[in-house]
């Protein structure tokens, strides 16, 4: 048998994959048989050495990476293609949304954006009691987790206080599911302290939701509105990301002779290759794939010109440390002033490049800089602009260092603030931390409290209990395997929880 036949047979006979997971593996393998898009030699070399990475979107990109349909418009007008009238009741709205989700593609095949759930459903709940609302939303949430088994599937709530947002927070605390991923939009002008406290109370029970700074994001997407999708990507509503490519800053730094060489030559040189890859990939998607003939476009749910390429970076920590050693500087990123000051200079240089460079297919003809949260096989690079796991300073210094980058990354920059379990007894401390982080300009962040069953990987979640199960019997979750790989290769469980006092914990000796 040929190599590819061997590979296909091993998929077909894999005892741990479900039939759907096998079908998807088959499809990915088929795509790999096509020749790669036509690229320059320089770019091909950079791709092979993975200085520039294409994020596994395939050789023939026939769908955008992330799609954010205008679900409110869909509910209001119904759909000719799907033969659905406008929604009139909560039951209709939930059912119709559940239908449309199955027609929204992404790099994973499953929708990465479920909408601003509370805003979407508010018009339909006047006659619904609190108890009914809770029960209906809970069933909806269970259905999402079981039918869209992928932790990149993402819903948004907030910043307004309403019965739906409150119900969803309570449901999250009760169900503790990995799907959907959830972001709460915080707006100091709109969100009450009481609602933020409900959010942090939920956090203390299930490490969800992620928190985003609404006014900071809104300012970036004034014409279109926005949503937070997948592993924390902020994108235009009614659009999305046509592709994501990312630059390995560690490797760029290692190609450099000096700080000057890094800024003046290597960064611009590899940035050019990033743009070349973006042009090649988006050309196929927009000009050849036919994707934009979809009913999603003809019914006005998405607009081709609202799709932007995401220009991702990762391994900033290693780049900074390498450049520090070239300059004979002691210390490391996260723990030395010199390094902590260099890091945002790199972010600013990247931002200047990306905001000044024309792309053919991008909202306002620009790509969006993104601090990429890593993939499960990054064993030598830290996600995005984060501080390496295990080397984080005290949590407040951590937040201040992280925040120094946030202005430069409009399409998302996430950080995981790892806390010790003792905070569970004092949710007010988490509330205060979140409030402070938002106040000093964090665009978004997630809090991960040690020892809970739901664990943040790069940004999506897995269940600790699933890690053990996966190896024995496989998993119905498509992301569990990515989570396990990340645990093995990227050291996510080494994140340093800020320990407060041993006397306040008790762990019995067996």
Partner 1 sequence: MNSPSAIINKILTFSAVDGPGNRLVVFFQGCNLACLNCHNPYTMGRCNDCGDCIPHCPQQALSMDDTGTVRWDADLCSQCDTCLSVCTFSASPKTLRYSVSELLDVVQDNTPFISGITLSGGEATTQLPFILAFLTALRTNPATAALSCLVDSNGLLGKTAWQQLLPLVDGVMLDIKAWHTDQHKAITGSHNHRVKASLDQLIRSKKLAELRFLLIPSVTDFDPPPDDLLLMLRGLSPETPIRINGFQHHGVVGAAAFWPPAQSDDISRFQQVLHSAGLLNVKIPVHTEKMSLPFR
Which phi and psi (to 5°) does residue 191 adopt? Answer: -80, 130
Our CB check for partner 1 shows the closer of 171 and 470 to be 470
One of 26, 109, 464, 474 touching partner 1 (CB under 8 A) = 464
Classify residue 408 by its DSSP letter: G
User: What would the x/- binding string for partner 1 be over residues 203 to 242, using CB under 8 A?
Assistant: ----------------------------------------
Q: Of 176 and 435, which CB lies nearer to partner 1 in the complex structure?
A: 435
Q: What are phi and psi of 419, to 5 degrees?
A: -120, 155
Region of 18-26, 93-101, 253-261, 417-425 interacting with partner 1 (CB under 8 A): 417-425
Nearest in space to 277 (alpha carbons), one of 76, 450, 43: 43
Task: Pick from 467, 480, 481, 482 the residue near partner 1 by CB under 8 A.
Answer: 467
CB of 17 to partner 1, least distance (A): 20
Contacting partner 1 (CB under 8 A), which of 34, 471, 476, 494? 471
* Residue 194 in contact with partner 1, rule: CB under 8 A: no
Q: How far apart are CA 237 and CA 117, in angstroms?
A: 14
- Which residue is associated with the tokens 């302290």? 193
Query: DSSP per residue over 38-97, as a string?
Result: P--HHHHHHHHTTSEE-TT--SS--S-SEEE--HHHHHHH-BTTTTBPPP-SHHHHHHHH
Applying CB under 8 A, does 394 fall inside the site for partner 1?
A: yes
Choosing from 451, 473, 476, 494, the residue that interacts with partner 1 (CB under 8 A) is 451
In contact, 236 and 226? CB cutoff 8 Å: yes
Alpha-carbon dihedral of residues 163, 171, 152, 162, nearest 10 degrees? 10
Q: Own/partner pairs for 81-87, CB < 8 Å, 24+ apart? A: 81/295, 81/298, 81/299, 82/295, 87/124
User: Nearer Cβ to partner 1, position 16 or 504?
Assistant: 504
Selected range binding partner 1 among 113-121, 288-296, 379-387, 414-422, rule: CB under 8 A: 414-422
Select from 260, 360, 396, 473 the one that contacts partner 1 (CB under 8 A). Answer: 396
Q: Is 397 in the site for partner 1 (CB under 8 A)?
A: yes
Contact between residue 102 and residue 149 where contact means Cβ atoms under 8 Å apart: no
Q: In angstroms, give the least distance from the CB of 447 to partner 1.
A: 12
CA distance 13 to 256: 47
User: Of 325-364, which residues contact partner 1 (CB under 8 A)?
Assistant: 330-331
Q: Please state whether the peptide bond connecting residue 180 to the residue before it is cis, i.e. omega within 30 degrees of 0.
A: yes
Strand-pairing partners, residue 28, are none
Closest approach of Cβ 228 to partner 1, in Å?
A: 23
Q: What angle do CA 140, 144, 146 make, to 5 degrees?
A: 115
Residue 429 is a binding residue for partner 1 (CB under 8 A): yes
Binding piece for partner 1, criterion CB under 8 A, among 52-60, 132-140, 237-245, 392-400: 392-400
Q: Applying CB under 8 A, which of residues 432, 473, 476, 494 lies at the interface with partner 1?
A: 432
* Total binding residues toward partner 1, as defined by CB under 8 A: 46
Q: Among residues 42 and 436, whose Cβ is nearest to partner 1?
A: 436
Question: Could you list the residues that contact partner 1 (CB under 8 A)?
Answer: 330-331, 394-397, 399, 419-426, 428-433, 435-437, 439-440, 451, 464, 467-468, 471, 487-488, 493, 498, 500-510
């Amino acid at each position: 048998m040929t190599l590819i036949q061997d590979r296909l047979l091993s998929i077909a006979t894999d005892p741990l994959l479900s039939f759907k997971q096998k079908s998807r593996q088959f499809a990915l393998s088929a795509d790999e048989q096509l020749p790669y898009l036509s690229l320059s030699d320089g770019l091909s070399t950079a791709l092979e050495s993975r200085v520039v990475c294409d994020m596994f979107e395939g050789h023939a990109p026939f769908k955008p990476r992330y799609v954010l349909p205008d679900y409110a418009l869909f509910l209001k007008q119904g759909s000719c293609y799907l033969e659905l009238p406008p929604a009139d009741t909560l039951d209709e709205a939930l059912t119709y949304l559940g239908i449309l989700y199955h027609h929204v593609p992404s790099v994973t095949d499953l929708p990465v954006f479920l909408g601003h759930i509370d805003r979407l459903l508010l018009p339909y709940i006047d006659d619904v009691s609190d108890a009914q609302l809770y029960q209906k939303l809970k069933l909806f949430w269970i259905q999402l987790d079981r039918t869209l088994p992928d932790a990149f599937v993402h819903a948004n709530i907030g910043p307004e206080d309403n019965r739906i947002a409150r119900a969803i927070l309570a449901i999250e605390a009760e169900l503790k599911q990995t799907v959907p991923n959830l972001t709460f939009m915080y707006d100091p002008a709109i969100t009450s302290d009481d609602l933020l406290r409900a959010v942090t109370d939920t956090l203390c029970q299930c490490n969800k939701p992620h928190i985003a700074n609404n006014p900071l994001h809104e300012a970036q997407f004034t014409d279109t509105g926005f949503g937070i999708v997948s592993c924390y990507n902020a994108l235009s509503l009614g659009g999305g990301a046509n592709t994501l490519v990312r630059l390995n800053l560690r490797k760029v730094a290692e190609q450099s002779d000096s700080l000057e060489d890094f800024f003046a030559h290597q960064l611009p040189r590899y940035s050019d290759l990033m743009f070349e890859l973006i042009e090649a990939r988006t050309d196929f998607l927009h000009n050849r794939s036919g994707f934009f003939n979809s009913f999603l476009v003809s019914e006005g749910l998405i607009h081709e010109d609202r799709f932007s390429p995401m220009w991702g970076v990762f391994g900033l920590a290693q780049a900074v440390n390498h450049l520090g050693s070239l300059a004979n500087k002691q210390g490391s990123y996260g723990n030395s002033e010199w390094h902590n000051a260099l890091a945002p200079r790199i972010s600013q240089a990247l931002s200047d490049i990306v905001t000044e460079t024309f792309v053919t297919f991008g909202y306002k003809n620009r790509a969006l800089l993104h601090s990429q949260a890593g993939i499960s096989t990054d064993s030598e690079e830290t996600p995005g602009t984060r501080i390496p796991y295990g080397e984080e300073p005290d949590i407040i210094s951590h937040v201040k260092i992280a925040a120094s980058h946030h202005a430069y990354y409009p399409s998302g920059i996430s950080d995981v603030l790892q806390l010790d379990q003792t905070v569970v007894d004092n949710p007010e401390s988490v509330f205060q931390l979140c409030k402070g982080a938002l106040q000093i300009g964090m665009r978004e962040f997630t809090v991960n409290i040690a020892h809970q069953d739901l664990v943040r990987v790069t940004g999506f979640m897995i269940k600790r209990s699933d890690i053990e199960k996966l190896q024995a019997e496989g998993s119905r979750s498509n992301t569990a395997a990515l989570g396990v790989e990340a645990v093995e290769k990227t050291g996510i469980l080494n994140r340093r929880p800020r320990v407060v006092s041993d006397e306040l914990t008790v762990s019995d000796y067996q």
